Every structure is written in structure tokens, then in C-alpha cells.
């Protein structure tokens, strides 16, 4: 299990007071913290060393948070990413999730909520407590130890949340899973406001599985109930 004493967090935030506050608070919780003050610096740091979690603001100079997150995913990195946004529009939040962010917190936020989201993201990056380390569904392999999904010999570029969602579907293959269960077990919380979050991630997984006819039909919608992975 990831211990806070060993978890490394990168904070990409241009507001000095917030950056300092978050750094002090996270260090007091036992995390190791590094900073980026703009999008360009954040990308350089994120791709030059290993982090367990990236926290980034949307409104960043030189490169905004959306572009930063997109480039991180394009670089093949599945590091869990949490975005901070002052925007209240649902479409902005969904945009962040679509390009690879795993979660978001809207400013102003309660520190306890942020800490809970951080803990949940870190907890869900760990290999599951199971004797199974590899799932095979036709041309799709899901390697739990290597945290990789491989389709026809090519590793898919998945966010940490997408991988954990695919893992959970695989572990419960053949069973219909409600959005509420997926929110609770994969995201760690349950609220009606987040229902579309599941749909967005399912749609993204389907898009990335389109390279193979069989794999593209693995995740089925059960109307009015939820989703299931059909072996």
C-alpha cells in the first residue's frame, strides 16, 4: 500500500499563496511535494521524474491545465491527475475528464475534501489484493501488476482512472454494474452530480478499444441498469 511518507505529489499552480498553502498542508500529512509554477514547467517536471499524483490548476500561464493534462497523457503517462478549477460550468469539468484527468475539485474547496480525493486516487493506483495478475479477453490483455492494457500487442494510453475502471469491469466480467457501484468502488464517492463521470470514462475506453472489433464490443450498456464487460 502507498504510504503518505512515500507518495510524491507534483503541484502545478501559479498562485503563490495557494501553492505555498497546499505544499505546507500536504507535507504536514506526510507527502513529498514538488512544484511547477506554469504549464510548461509542470510538463517538464511531470515527464522528467516519477510522481504518484499530479495536482494542476486549469488557469495556468504558458500552457493551460487542459493542454498540460492532454500532453501528459499523450506522453504515455498514466499518473493520477486531479485538476483544480474555479469554473462552475459542467462542460469545463467534463472536458478535463475527457482529456485524461482522473478527478477535479472546484475552488474554493475544503481542504478535507481535497485530502480525501488525494487519498482515494492514491489508493486506487495500487494493485488489487487478488491472486489474479493478468486478464485476457481475446486480443485485450489487462496486466494488473504492470498497470497496462495491451490490445493486439500495443499498450493503450489510459489514464489511471480509466485503467482502474477497466480493471474493475474485468474483475466483475459478466456482471451488470450500476453507475452508483462504479462511482463508489472506482471513484470512492457517490453523488448524483457525478453520474455522467462514469459515462464519460466508459465512452473514452470504448474509443480506445475501437482498434479491434471484438474488443470494441467488450463493454456493453445495460439499459437503465449500468454497464458490464462481456467476455
Q: Which of 76, 93, 123 is the last residue of a domain?
A: 123
Asked if residue 3 belongs to a domain, the reply is: no
Asked if residue 206 belongs to a domain, the reply is: yes
Q: Which residues neighbour 82 within 8 Å (Cβ) at sequence distance 6 or greater?
A: 53, 54, 55, 56, 101, 102, 103, 104, 105, 117, 118, 121
Question: Residues 182-208: what's their mean pLDDT?
Answer: 79
Do 94 and 152 have their domain in common? no
Contact call for residues 78 and 46 (beta carbons, < 8 A): no
pLDDT at 95: 83
Q: Which of 70, 100, 123 is the last residue of a domain?
A: 123
Host H or E run for residue 219: strand 219-222
Look at the chain and report how many structural domains it folds into. 2
Do 191 and 114 have their domain in common? no
Picking from 195, 227, 218, the residue whose alpha carbon sits closest to that of residue 97 is: 195
Picking from 32, 48, 41, the residue whose alpha carbon sits closest to that of residue 12 is: 41
Angle between helices 195-208 and 160-171 (to 10 degrees): 90
Asked which of 33-37, 74-78, 140-144, 201-205 is least confident by mean pLDDT, the reply is: 74-78
How many whole angstroms separate alpha carbon 175 and alpha carbon 115?
32
Q: Which domain holds residue 71?
A: 8-123
- For residue 108, pLDDT over 80 is answered with yes
- For residue 170, pLDDT over 80 is answered with yes
- Which CATH number is 18's domain given? 3.40.50.2300
pLDDT digits 0-9 by tens, 11-40: 999 999 999 999 999 988 888 899 999 999
- For residue 44, pLDDT over 90 is answered with yes
Host H or E run for residue 202: helix 195-208
Do 117 and 17 have their domain in common? yes
pLDDT at 195: 62
- For residue 168, pLDDT over 60 is answered with yes
pLDDT digits 0-9 by tens, 84-93: 987 666 677 7
- For residue 125, pLDDT over 70 is answered with no
Do 14 and 114 have their domain in common? yes
Name the residue with higher pLDDT: 99 or 221: 221
Contact call for residues 40 and 63 (beta carbons, < 8 A): yes
- For residue 2, pLDDT over 70 is answered with no
pLDDT at 3: 45
Asked if residue 139 belongs to a domain, the reply is: yes
How many whole angstroms separate alpha carbon 215 and alpha carbon 194?
27
Contact call for residues 175 and 208 (beta carbons, < 8 A): no
Amino acid at each position: 500500500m502507498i504510504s503518505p511518507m512515500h507518495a510524491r505529489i507534483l503541484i502545478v499552480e501559479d498562485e503563490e499563496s495557494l501553492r505555498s498553502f497546499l505544499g505546507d498542508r500536504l507535507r504536514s500529512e506526510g507527502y513529498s511535494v514538488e512544484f511547477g509554477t506554469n504549464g510548461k514547467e509542470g510538463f517538464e517536471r511531470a515527464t522528467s521524474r516519477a510522481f504518484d499524483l499530479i495536482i494542476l490548476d486549469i488557469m495556468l500561464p504558458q500552457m493551460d491545465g487542459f493542454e498540460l493534462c492532454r500532453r501528459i497523457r499523450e506522453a504515455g503517462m498514466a499518473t493520477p491527475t486531479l485538476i483544480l478549477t474555479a469554473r462552475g460550468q459542467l462542460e469545463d469539468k467534463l472536458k478535463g475528464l475527457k482529456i485524461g484527468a482522473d478527478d477535479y475539485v472546484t475552488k474554493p474547496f475544503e481542504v478535507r475534501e481535497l485530502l480525501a480525493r488525494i487519498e482515494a486516487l492514491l489508493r486506487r493506483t495500487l494493485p488489487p489484493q487478488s491472486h489474479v495478475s493478468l486478464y485476457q479477453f481475446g486480443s485485450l490483455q489487462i496486466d494488473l501488476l504492470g498497470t497496462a492494457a495491451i490490445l493486439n500487442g500495443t499498450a493503450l494510453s489510459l489514464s489511471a482512472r480509466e485503467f482502474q475502471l477497466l480493471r474493475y469491469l474485468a474483475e466483475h466480467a459478466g456482471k451488470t454494474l450500476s453507475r452508483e457501484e462504479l462511482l463508489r468502488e472506482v471513484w470512492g464517492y457517490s453523488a448524483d452530480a457525478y453520474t455522467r463521470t462514469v459515462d464519460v470514462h466508459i465512452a473514452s475506453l470504448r474509443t480506445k478499444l475501437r482498434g479491434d472489433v471484438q474488443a470494441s464490443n467488450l463493454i456493453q450498456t445495460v439499459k437503465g441498469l449500468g454497464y458490464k464487460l462481456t467476455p
